[in-house]
């Protein structure tokens, strides 16, 4: 019996040894990518956290505790940037996602001719260079530009509006319009992919039962697209709170910082005038906390599982 037990146990040891070898090979493939992620992502995050507790100009830094975070409560520019980010978030994101969802529902119709052309045209702004977008929008909304001329011909205004440099409201409006124009098609692609996974027989059954297109949209499309909608809401929220390009290239944060965003202010604090890396790191962590908290809230509210 002992001899047979030894024979029975021998293959198990070989299988275990083979499994270990496979695990080692798997870790060998994963290790370079894992080390790269740690080096390029987590190490800078840790350094930024330590840097946020230091103050000084340039490379002359010293430990300052919570001084940088306390100064955020007094910094009027940061408070304006925070306000601007939430204005963009509360206005632009809902409009953009609703437009993307409606366009996706329309362009998912198999009977629609040239729908591939329409999809490409709507998605194309997302692939356009932001510098080109900024130049186009600055010329369109300039004094004497296309928008002012059109509004005057329609009798909606009597004099040119200085959209970009006239007031904070008009400058923020230009940024919101640019964001909606640029990112609606991007989110539409997510919804299109989700719609193509919905069984068409559900719509046929609803049509037979007398449901009109609006009722089908509310009762079938939106509930079944809930995971995709949640994903786009989280991605759009994160992107808006970290918004930089439009503020930097389109309005330069003006007039008088009335359209500046938090990321733009962090960049200005770090690389313009005299660098204050500790204070910029503290602002970065405030943005990080806001993104994490809002993503968690959205997951809790939106994910019914």
CA distances from residue 122 to 3, 182, 237 in whole angstroms, order as listed: 74, 9, 21
What confidence tier does 16 reach under pLDDT thresholds 50, 70, 90?
A: low
pLDDT tens-place string over residues 147-180? 999 999 998 888 889 999 888 999 999 999 999 9
Q: Give the Å distances, CA to CA, from 128 to 17, 119, 132, 185, 271.
A: 53, 15, 7, 12, 27
- pTM comes to 0.84
Quick one: pLDDT at residue 12?
Answer: 47
For residues 203-226, average pLDDT:
86
Cβ proximity of 105 and 195 under 8 Å? yes
- The burial class, CB within 10 Å (0-12 / 13-18 / 19+), for 210 is exposed
Do residues 229 and 301 lie in contact, with contact meaning Cβ atoms separated by under 8 Å? no
Helices (H), the chain: 2-37, 43-51, 67-72, 76-107, 115-127, 130-140, 146-153, 168-195, 200-208, 213-216, 222-224, 226-241, 245-246, 262-271, 277-302
The pLDDT of residue 5? 54
């Amino acid at each position: 019996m002992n001899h047979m037990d030894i024979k029975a146990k021998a293959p198990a040891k070989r299988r275990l040894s083979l499994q270990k070898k496979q695990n080692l090979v798997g870790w060998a493939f994963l290790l370079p990518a894992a080390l790269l992620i740690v080096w390029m992502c987590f190490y800078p995050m840790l350094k930024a956290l330590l840097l946020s507790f230091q103050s000084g100009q340039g490379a002359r830094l010293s430990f300052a505790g919570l001084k940088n975070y306390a100064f955020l409560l007094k910094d009027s520019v940061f408070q304006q940037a925070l306000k601007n980010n939430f204005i963009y978030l509360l206005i632009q994101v809902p409009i953009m996602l609703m437009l993307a969802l409606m366009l996706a529902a329309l362009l998912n119709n198999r009977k629609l001719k040239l729908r591939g052309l329409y999809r490409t045209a709507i998605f194309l702004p997302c692939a356009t260079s932001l510098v080109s977008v900024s130049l186009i929008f600055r010329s369109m909304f300039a004094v004497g530009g296309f928008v002012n001329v059109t509004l005057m011909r329609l009798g909606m205004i009597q004099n040119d509006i200085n959209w970009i440099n006239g007031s904070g409201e008009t400058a923020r409006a230009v940024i919101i319009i640019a964001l909606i124009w640029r990112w609606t098609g991007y989110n539409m692609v997510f919804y299109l992919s989700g719609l193509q996974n919905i069984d068409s027989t559900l719509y046929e059954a609803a049509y037979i039962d007398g449901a009109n297109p609006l009722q089908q949209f509310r009762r079938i499309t939106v509930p079944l697209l809930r995971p995709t909608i949640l994903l786009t809401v989280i991605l759009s929220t994160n992107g808006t709170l970290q918004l930089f390009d439009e503020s930097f290239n389109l309005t330069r944060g003006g007039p008088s910082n009335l359209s500046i965003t938090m990321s733009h202010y962090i960049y200005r604090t770090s690389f313009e005038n005299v660098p204050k890396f500790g204070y910029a790191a503290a602002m970065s962590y405030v943005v990080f906390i806001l993104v994490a908290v809002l993503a968690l809230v959205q997951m809790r509210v939106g994910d019914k599982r």
